[in-house]
Amino acid sequence: MAVPLIAGLGTAQPPGARQDELWAGYFAKHFSGPTRALAERIFANSGVSHRQAAVNPLLEDVSDWPTGRRMRRYQVEALSLGKEAVGRALTAAGLAAGDLGLFVVCSCTGYATPGLDILLARDLGMAPDTQRMFVGHMGCYAALPGLGAAGDFVTARGRPALLLCAELTSLHIQPASARMDTQQIVSHALFSDAAVATVLVPGTETTPQGYALREVASVTDTSTADHMTWDVTDTGFRMGLSPKVPQVLSAHVRGLVDGLLARHGTTIAEVDGWAVHPGGPRILNVVERELTLPADALAASRAVLDEHGNCSSPTVLLILDRLFRAAVPPRWIVLLAFGPGLTLYAALLERRS
């Protein structure tokens, strides 16, 4: 039976700006009245010092754009970033676009038909029989069910698959309001843009090297479905983010991780690589506490939050890329991501050398 191996990973990000520049040059004026002082504190304590934006508010204010105009811009910007990320991943894997059997695209920040999957397949020269799957509106955890689908295809069909996560959160700045709620402030302080592509290929149990995707697991607490929302409005997509999210994560994350690791004969103490989606500093603190991790275990996750912000679905793959490039790559990597549902997803990778 084929074992899905990660053979290549490619990233693409638009130009960036410092968090203090974004605050002083745009958001200090965007937030007014009684919310301004609160917003300044949230921006300063976000754990973010630098972010990327395909539509930079310092240069172009989209906050009053109707959703249709935002979607047209999404198609232009996401197509460009997607091509760059996919091209780099294919090059790293030593494959051509025509070699792919499945192309999975995850995105929750824009929609169009024909979508990114069709347009990129056309522009990059994928074969006419390449199967496609689009994963939408799953939010920040979408990369992991995307990996799961790609891995299952590789195992069942013995052919390569490619996953692309592409998000343009910069298109969804909401109109200015003196009564803008805290959830919108947090969203505007954290989110960023990126595209990351990952190639999975069939290996065997004796394949000498690479990271094997061992399992993808999840748990959803539907009693908290209203804690995280992403609503389509007439002026873009609007985030709803309850302050109770860390509390829900704390109730479920240990059981999810312990169960995943036990099924593969390992434990938290043996995991030397952690890619935890940085939904914000509090999320990372909760995971660190509940899993009783060493102080430096989430260093890569905090570094990505600091340098890139929360890019939604590509973020966990940005952290994975950082771990892959470490001087001593980890043997076991656990990926964790969270989103609407509330849903927790986990994946286990094992390095073979």
pLDDT above 90 coverage of the chain, percent: 84
pLDDT above 70 coverage of the chain, percent: 98
pLDDT above 90 for 352: no
Q: Is the dihedral of CA 77, 81, 84, 90 positive or negative?
A: negative
pLDDT (0 to 100) of residue 206: 61
Residues sharing a CB contact under 8 Å with residue 277, sequence separation 6 or more, in sequence order? 140, 141, 283, 301, 310, 315, 316, 319, 336, 337, 338
- Name the pairing type of β-strands 161-168 and 193-203: antiparallel
pLDDT above 70 for 130: yes
- Tell me the C-alpha to C-alpha distance, in Å, between residue 81 and each of 28, 176, 221, 239: 29, 28, 34, 23
Q: What is the DSSP string of 221-237?
A: -GGGGGGEEEEEETTEE
Residue 210 confidence class, pLDDT cut points 50, 70, 90: confident
**Integer Cα distance of 335 and 274 in angstroms:** 6
**The 3-state secondary structure of 245-307, one letter per residue:** HHHHHHHHHHHHHHHHHHCCCCCHHHCCEEEECCCCHHHHHHHHHHCCCCCCCCHHHHHHHHH
pLDDT (0 to 100) of residue 314: 98
**Integer Cα distance of 208 and 15 in angstroms:** 38
Residue 2 confidence class, pLDDT cut points 50, 70, 90: confident
pLDDT (0 to 100) of residue 207: 62
Q: Is 69 exposed, middle or buried (0-12, 13-18, 19+ CB in 10 A)?
A: middle
pLDDT above 90 for 205: no
Mean pLDDT, the chain, rounded, equals: 94
Q: How many residues does the chain have?
A: 353
- Tell me the C-alpha to C-alpha distance, in Å, between residue 105 and each of 134, 193, 233: 5, 15, 23
Of the two residues 320 and 206, the one the predictor is more confident about is 320
106 is catalytic: no
pLDDT (0 to 100) of residue 196: 98
- Arithmetic mean of pLDDT, 133-144: 95
CA-nearest of 213, 203, 208 to 317 is 213
pLDDT above 80 for 179: no
Provide the edge-to-edge strand list for the sheet that holds 193-203: 131-136, 102-107, 161-168, 193-203, 3-12, 210-220, 343-352, 332-339, 273-276
Domains parsed from the chain with CATH numbers: 3-203 (3.40.47.10), 210-352 (3.40.47.10)
pLDDT above 70 for 142: yes
Alpha helices (runs of H) in 3-58, residue ranges in sequence order: 19-22, 28-30, 35-44
Of the two residues 280 and 197, the one the predictor is more confident about is 197
State the catalytic residue, choosing from 106, 108, 140, 311.
140
